[in-house]
Structures are given as C-alpha cells and as structure tokens.
Amino acid sequence: MITPTSITKFDRTEKELEEFLMFSILVAGKGAEQQAKKLHDFLYQQRLTNDASINGWTPFQEIKHLWKNNLLLDRMAHFRLGQYNRIESAFKGILDFKGRLKSVTIEELESVKGIGSKTARFFILHSRPDQQVAVLDTHILKWLAKTTGIGMPKSTPTKLKYKTIESLFLTQASIRNMSPAELDLQIWKEYAKKA
C-alpha cells in the first residue's frame, strides 16, 4: 500500500510503479491517506482466489482485465473512487506505458486524458532521483505565496503559467539546499498537520 507520509521512493519495482502511477491519478484533489486505502482495496481486496495467476497480477494487468470484461466502472463505483470518467480514461491510457514506467516522460503522461501537469510531475518527482519539477498543488501554492509574497492562483495553474510558478518553487528548493522532492514532502507534511 502507498504510504503518503513517505511517498518518495526511487527504487520501486515495475509493479510498485504501476500502483504509484494509479495513486498519482487517484489522489488529485483528494485526501492522500484515504485514497491510498481505497486504491489498495480496489486492487487487492477482491483478488482472494485460488487462482495463483490472478493473485500475481500487476495493477495494470488487473485494470486491463477489468476493462476488457466491462467491469472497470463497476469496481471503481464499488470502492467509491469518484471522478469516474476522468479516472477511467486515465487508467485505460496508462496501460500503454506497461514495462516502461521508469522512462516515461512528463509529456507522454500528460498526453493521457485525465492526467495533467501536476499528476505527471507528482509521479516523476517521487519515483526518480534528481528531478527538477514541482507539484503545484494547493499546499505548494499557499506556501509559495507566503514565502515569496507573490500572489498565486488558488488551484493548479494552466501549462503556460505552470512553468513560471514551477521555476519559483525550484529556486526556493535550491536556496534551502533541498531537492524538490524533499521540499514538496516537507510542505505537504506541514500543511497536513494543520488540516
């Protein structure tokens, strides 16, 4: 199961990367702890079977099976994943990246319907070392506004503005001698305590 308080992990297996990408999609705009549990239950709760081949499936194999058998939306609804159209499109779209999640690019991820700049960067930042990208969620935007004194949008900005604000965050990480992943997690933990 994904542990949101220690989200950065650079040595994930391909199977773990599949689950982490699905978590990255699912958590957008929602509580991380609750979504981690929902995803875990969605993927593994109904796999209790004597068929060892099914029990050994990767998350992408599970999605492909559910999709081909017209069960994906039903399973999503059963576990109350929400945002069904967006998440279903994204889950189907990421199947194209099977076996190459260690090298998939931000642009490739963003080409999938249901995955935006924030989600693509979240996956890359917390699964690969030395990434110079920012996950501009509401916590980061509030922190940047407070830290820099510059007005920030209330929600994730569009692609053009994203790059400008991303550069501000990367500068702040550099000033603090932190990687973007370290600063991102520190800010998330700080704001999670307040919530």
- pLDDT digits 0-9 by tens, 145-181: 999 999 999 999 987 899 999 999 999 999 999 999 9
- 9 is known as an active-site residue: no
**Structural tokens at position 36:** 């981690």
Per the annotation, the verdict on 154 as an active-site residue is: no
Predicted pLDDT at 166: 96
Q: Are 165 and 136 in contact (CB under 8 A)?
A: yes
What is the structure's pLDDT at 114? 95
Enumerate residue ranges in the chain where pLDDT < 70: 46-55, 195
Q: Give the fold, CATH level 3, of 1-129.
A: Endonuclease III; domain 1 (1.10.340)
Torsion angle of the four alpha carbons 156, 3, 37, 119, in this order, in degrees rounded to the nearest 10: 20
For CA atoms 157, 22, 122, 38, give the dihedral sign.
positive
Catalytic residue selected from 9, 137, 146, 193: 137
Per annotation, catalytic residue among 11, 102, 118, 130: 118
H-type alpha helices, the chain: 14-26, 32-44, 52-55, 59-68, 72-78, 84-94, 106-110, 117-125, 138-148, 159-175, 180-194
- Report the topology of domain 132-195: Endonuclease Iii, domain 2 (1.10.1670)
- Please tell me the predicted confidence (pLDDT) of residue 181: 93
In degrees and rounded to multiples of 5, residue 7 shows phi and psi of -75, -30
pLDDT at 52: 42
Phi, psi angles (nearest 5°) of residue 186 = -60, -45
What local confidence, expressed as pLDDT, does residue 46 receive? 63
DSSP 157: P
Cβ–Cβ under 8 Å, residues 117 and 105: no
- DSSP label of 6: G
Q: Which residues contact 90 (CB under 8 A, 6 or more apart)?
A: 25, 112, 113, 114, 115
**Segments making up each domain of the chain, as ranges:** 1-129, 132-195
Q: Shortest CA distance to 90 belongs to which of 119, 61, 121?
A: 119
State the pTM of this model: 0.89
